[in-house]
Structure 1
């Protein structure tokens, strides 16, 4: 097995000591590429090309541990072995405590010891980096799980005759959580409330804002706020909590009457829901989409009343589902093409959500850029 060449940067202003290090490495035929810097400033320019640094603490432009601290503060700093003077173990121990991988005493090192020291330092740094990345990944996963629970909670529809199905797929190759959220609540009088929303942007700040809005929506609904006032209050919450002046949120809110024969929906810059009966999509009454939350102060959203035929299903979705690409077409997928795809899958059977998302993703040629969330309400009678 061929040993990987290690790039070593020697930071040493003394020509005699530098020549000794080079001779020791040649003595053991070490698979190293050696570069040299005479000052700290010069070493900083060469740092990105090194796997290991042999650092003398007595440099013309640095004294004590200053050079070590400066190099360790650089992004992705390599392993650092400190070179100390004769009988100066205390300085070496202090350097290790400050972040060096190890130290070597000048004049007490032969080629084999230097070879082992460099290899040990490089492998220890790689191990430390791997452990750090693993810890960071676990922390990010835990934070993502907390945000996801806040964005996509279990619905409060116990003992309701309205069935609910939901799907969520994060967008992009990195599979990061965005700001899509949904929720559904059943009230004591039998009314069912549901919302789906999309905070503009993609990342932890947007996800946190989505959690805030979703929790505020549930609290407003449970407190008995009139549907016409819920979006207005959410708008105020968004303006107060958003992390940037231009941040807005689209939303679709639906209320289903206790007799399940009618519904009302409110649109804040969001795609309108899709009403389905059997294997066909029923046209909804013409509606005013309304502006997104966070755009116009004191804006009043109005609802659109919809009769619900027996066996109805009502699908609300975020625009990630219609903004994918289509082969040989410069336009996005769009609502019309989505409806064509959906009706094809409805003819096959009622469990269409996963297959529709899969087809839209395939048409896009890979992962969709934006998140996809779908909330499906169904007549359970």
Structure 2
């Protein structure tokens, strides 16, 4: 056990008293002890008591709270705290120490006539209290070791609760990003797919939705830049706002300018933006009107062929606000399927860096998978599996996919 005094005389070896035989003890994990005690004799006694125990301890002794502050930040171990110091005392002293050492245990020292302070200290968050003059080495070592282990158990339990809450919050965000589409009166059938990437354990900002309104089916798929709760929350806001605008009867050419205003007002940082593809399907005219804002275009599966739609992309939503984006009109005959996806799919490597899969690579994969006789129901999973094979492992980013078929899914 080493100890350092406030005079900075250097580490010294604290061992059994001279002439005493060293007992054979089972080795235990060293315990870091920060002793905050203004009485030098009491501090020396603590060191001597611990020297005769199996607890392998490293003691740092400071006489005041002011001296202790530089040691408290990030300290892990046990703080042995006298509640009556020259520059602080009582529960106010304890609260400051507890606030500064969230991951350390705190054991308080009280006088014989101040035992009530020890009881109050435990109620306020200390792990234990000891009465000066009534402590031997075994009791002191046991209290310190027990307090450290209990603090670790409490910390593990807290982290587990936080992880469970985080998982529940992610589930709520996912439900907001990937909703049940509103196509009850539409002649279209749909299939959605989502697979998280390996880069994060948290939900990203991928979102999609589809709403049928006045004979036209409107579809949106997008991805908020970055990863984290702010991006996911913004994705949820955009998806809900878009649905509200469509259901409110806003003209399709005004949907994206209105959505851009909402993004600008709701984003947490000015540099946040969203890539987005909006498509309006007019099944009576067998036509799809596609608007791209920094997003990869959908792929059209029709008559056994896979076509890449060469729509002109505009800047992402929130980068250079404009009144409206360019529109690409393409044929969408009965029996056709449009495959919408987020860029986590085309950002996969095509056999390794630096080459990316890109849209043409995704089209090639799609053709190969369809040539095997894969049904549309199984298509998204097999496409992502194949992309991961090209990538050499799980994809870095999340992948959301939405298939819209004019007719029943095969």
1:32 to 48, 57, 65: 57
Measured in 2, the distance between the counterparts of 1:29 and 1:319 equals: 59
**Structure 2: unaligned runs, 5 residues or longer:** 1-25
Give 1:321's match in structure 2, choosing from 345, 348, 361.
345
How far is 1:171 from its partner?
3.1
Which runs of structure 2 are paired with 1:1-381 in the superposition (5 Å)?
3-47=28-72, 48=74, 50-74=76-100, 76-189=102-215, 191-259=216-284, 261-277=286-302, 279-284=304-309, 286-348=310-372, 349-350=374-375, 351-381=378-408
What is the number of equivalent residue pairs in this alignment? 379
Cα distance in 2, alignment partners of residues 75 and 292 from structure 1: 45
CA, structure 1 residues 315+124, in 2 after alignment: closer, same or farther (shift >3 Å)?
Answer: same
Residues 20-62 of structure 1: CA distance to partner in whole angstroms, max 9, x if unpaired? 1122223333243333333334434444454111111233443
Stretch deviating more after TM superposition (260-269 or 198-207) = 260-269
Contact 1:171 1:367 in 2 (8 A): yes
Distance (whole Å) between structure 1 residues aligned to residue 30 and residue 65 of structure 2: 24
How far did residue 215 of structure 1 move? 0.8
Higher alpha-carbon Rg: 2
What secondary structure does 1:173 align onto? coil
Distance 1:308 1:22 in 2: 83
Q: Distance in 2 between matches of 1:311 and 1:305?
A: 18
Instruction: Give the superposition deviation at 1:98.
Output: 2.5
Q: Distance in 2 between matches of 1:368 and 1:182?
A: 19
Q: Which moved more, 1:147-156 or 1:239-248?
A: 239-248
**Secondary structure, counterpart of 1:332 in structure 2:** coil
Aligned-partner Cα distance in 2 for 1:207–1:366: 25
Deviations along 1:321-348, one digit per CA (max 9) or x if unpaired, are 1112344432332112222122111212
Distance 1:136 1:50 in 2: 20
Instruction: Report the CA distance shift for 1:338/1:9 in structure 2 as closer, same or farther (over 3 A).
Output: same
Q: Using the alignment, how far apart are the partners of 2:249 and 2:208 within structure 1?
A: 19
CA contact (8 A) 2:207 2:221 kept: yes
TM-score (norm 2): 0.85
Structure 1 contact 56–83 (Cα < 8 Å) conserved: yes
Give me the CA root mean square deviation. 2.2
Q: CA deviation at 1:177?
A: 1.0
Conserved? CA contact 1:196–1:316, under 8 Å:
yes
1:108 Cα deviation (Å)?
0.8
* Distance (whole Å) between structure 1 residues aligned to residue 201 and residue 369 of structure 2: 26
Give the secondary-structure state (helix, strand or coil) at the position aligned to 2:84.
coil
Cα distance change, pair 366–84 in 1 and its aligned pair in 2 (3 A): farther
78-87 or 8-17, which moves further after superposition? 8-17
> Aligned partners of 2:327 and 2:87: how far apart in 1?
71
Distance 2:116 2:242 in 1: 62
What CA distance in whole angstroms lies between the structure 2 residues aligned with 1:148 and 1:39? 51
Corresponding position of 2:18:
none
TM-score (norm 1): 0.91
Q: Tell whether the 8 Å contact from 1:9 to 1:50 is kept in structure 2 after alignment.
A: no
Report which stretch shifted further, 193-202 or 29-38.
Answer: 29-38
Q: CA deviation at 1:297?
A: 3.1
Q: 1:9 to 1:215 in 2, by over 3 A?
A: same
Distance in 2, matches of 1:245 and 1:49, equals 37
Structure 2 SS opposite 1:329: coil
Cα distance in 2 between the residues matched to 1:237 and 1:210: 11
Gaps of 5+ in 1: none
